[in-house]
């Protein structure tokens, strides 16, 4: 018994010293969740790329995000602000995606259903059934080109 404990002690110390007990977060499986309250509005919103209606200023904003690309799981390098409004007909996402080097923003296409992997864009995924299997996906690039899809069967069918 004494020999067993003496053999285990160095292994335990090595395990403890290397930080093996503190596992890295697997962002593919972790249930990281943030909530942002959508504000019901009665005022008309003009879809023009500007968030100058007073209702936008009053809406709560989400600001601290993590990257999916290029450095998955890392904090974003630029500040992004998202606000959500809705009325009886629509849901509105107000997104301010700051960039300290706007000349380096990548825009490869202006057409609808552009190749999303080749440029800078913002993506909204709505899991309306809250089942992590089905969703609606909306992407817009820095020039305003739009891409949308319905995701089914855990993304196997898009």
Q: What are the tens digits of pLDDT across the range 30-73? A: 556 677 899 999 989 998 889 999 999 999 998 888 777 778 88
Evaluate whether residue 90 is within a structural domain: yes
Q: Could you give the CA distance from residue 9 to residue 64 in angstroms, rounded to a whole number?
A: 42
Q: What integer pLDDT is reported at residue 25 of this predicted model?
A: 59
Q: Within this chain, do residues 94 and 110 fall inside the same structural domain, yes or no?
A: no
Q: Which domain does 87 fall in, by range?
A: 35-98
For residue 71, tell me if it sits in a domain: yes
Exposure of 29 in the CB half-sphere (CA atoms within 13 A):
3
pLDDT value, residue 86: 95
Report how far residue 41's alpha carbon sits from residue 55's, in angstroms, rounded to the nearest whole number. Answer: 7
Residues 74 and 113 in one domain: no
Q: Write out residues in the chain with pLDDT < 70, as ranges.
A: 1-33, 107, 109, 111, 113-118, 155-158
State residue 60's pLDDT score: 95
Task: Give pLDDT, residue 149.
Answer: 84
User: Residue 140 falls within a domain, yes or no?
Assistant: yes
The answer to whether position 133 is within a domain reads: yes
Q: Is the pTM of this model over 0.85?
A: no
Number of domains, the chain: 2
Cβ atoms of 25 and 71 closer than 8 Å: no
- 9 in any annotated domain: no
Last residue of a domain, one of 98, 116, 137: 98
94: nearest Cα among 42, 32, 39: 39
Q: 111 and 56: one domain?
A: no
CB 138, CB 90: distance < 8 Å: no
β-bridge mates for residue 35, sequence order: none
- Asked whether residue 94 falls in the same domain as residue 125, the answer is no
For residue 147, is it within any domain? yes
Residue 94 lies in a domain: yes
pLDDT score, position 17: 46
If asked whether residues 79 and 134 sit together in one domain, one would say no
């Amino acid at each position: 018994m004494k020999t067993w404990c003496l053999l285990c002690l160095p292994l335990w110390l090595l395990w403890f010293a290397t930080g093996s007990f503190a596992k890295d977060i697997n962002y593919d499986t972790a249930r990281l969740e943030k909530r942002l309250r959508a504000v019901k509005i009665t005022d008309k919103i003009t879809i023009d790329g500007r968030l100058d209606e007073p209702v936008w200023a009053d809406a709560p904003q989400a600001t601290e995000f993590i990257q999916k690309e290029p450095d998955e799981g890392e904090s974003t390098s630029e500040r992004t602000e998202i606000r959500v409004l809705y009325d009886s007909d629509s849901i509105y996402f107000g997104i301010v995606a700051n960039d300290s080097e706007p000349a380096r923003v990548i825009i490869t296409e202006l057409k609808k259903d552009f190749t999303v992997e080749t440029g800078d864009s913002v993506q909204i995924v709505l899991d309306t059934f809250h089942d992590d299997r089905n969703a609606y996906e909306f992407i817009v690039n820095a020039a305003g080109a739009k891409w949308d899809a319905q995701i089914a069967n855990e993304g196997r069918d898009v």
